[in-house]
Amino acid sequence: MKFISTLLFTILVSAANSQVWKLSTHYSLGVPQQQMEKNIQAVHSLQVGILYQLKHIKQLSAGIDFGIGSYASKRIEQTFQFDNNTAAIVPVNYNSNAFNVALQGRLNLLNEKYCIVPYINAKGGLYNFFSTIYIEDPTEAGGCHALEQKTIMNDKTPYWSAGGGLQIDPVIFSKTGRKGNIIIDISANTIHGGTMDYINTKHLTDAQTVNDPDAKAVQVRFINASTQAIHEHTVAQVFTSSLRLLEFRAGVIMKLGKCN
């Protein structure tokens, strides 16, 4: 990881003298793998980046890439049981998001004079998962209220990514034969990172229970509006595992300079 980050930073500094800049924007689908696959849904993100084409190695580019997305947005009416054989229905909102930033390097396997250019790429940076649990007031008047309505979880890990893709010049679909500054870009990448905590959002149900020995309960204190009795109830489950995603991207690249 340290070697990849150092290499990408060196490439980025070397690229500063390049006169060719490229802006990129992509839709990213991050499919969880291994342990993460059991616990969370796919991560949908918008990725934005900038690439610099090196002056003396024109098939090599370097730059920075960052994105923000979501892997859960749900509202579930939880039914909480109390000691006096009463129950309260409480709506709970779950919003889980992801942010990533990385240095990136890309090597085209063909000159950009071709309409379809395969490439390989590598990245190294930081991946962040953050979630908010917001507990609304109960649906019944006089029911139990959460003493803290909002719970925020935040964890991050260094990560690296490698993969490949295709740059497709739209000129192949045109009869004019004139190349423009917009390129279609598709790729597939594997993402590996360290361990991190995140909320289990794949199997959220009414009346959360923690049966998995690897799961940790997120508990919130409630107070009964009538009796003033305080109870704790589980509103979510937290897992710890390594970051593992299989990422698919589709988007466009805009050239801001003339690529020779």
DSSP secondary structure letters along 92-106: EEEEEEEEEEEEEEE
Query: Residue 193 has what pLDDT?
Result: 96
What is the chain's pLDDT, residue by residue, as a tens digit (260 residues)? Answer: 554 555 555 554 544 444 588 999 999 999 999 999 988 999 999 999 999 988 778 889 999 999 999 999 988 888 777 666 677 788 889 999 999 999 999 999 998 888 899 999 999 999 999 999 998 877 666 667 788 888 888 999 999 999 999 999 988 887 666 677 899 999 999 999 999 999 888 777 655 665 666 778 888 888 777 777 777 888 888 889 999 999 999 999 998 855 44
Closest C-alpha to 108, from 54, 181, 45: 54
Q: Which fold has domain 2-255?
A: Porin (2.40.160)
Q: What is the pLDDT of residues 38-73, one digit of tens each?
A: 889 999 999 999 999 887 788 899 999 999 999 999
DSSP helix, strand, coil percent of the chain (3-state; round to 5): 10, 65, 30
Residues contacting residue 57 through CB under 8 Å, at least 6 positions apart:
none
Q: Which two tokens stand for residue 202?
A: 């794949």
The predicted structure's pLDDT at residue 56: 77
181 three-class SS: coil
Report pLDDT for 16: 46
* Neighbour count for residue 84 (Cβ, 10 Å): 10
Q: Which two tokens stand for residue 112?
A: 């950009």
Whether 28 and 69 have beta carbons less than 8 Å apart is answered as yes
Domain borders along the chain are 2-255
Are 53 and 79 spatial neighbours (Cβ–Cβ below 8 Å)? no
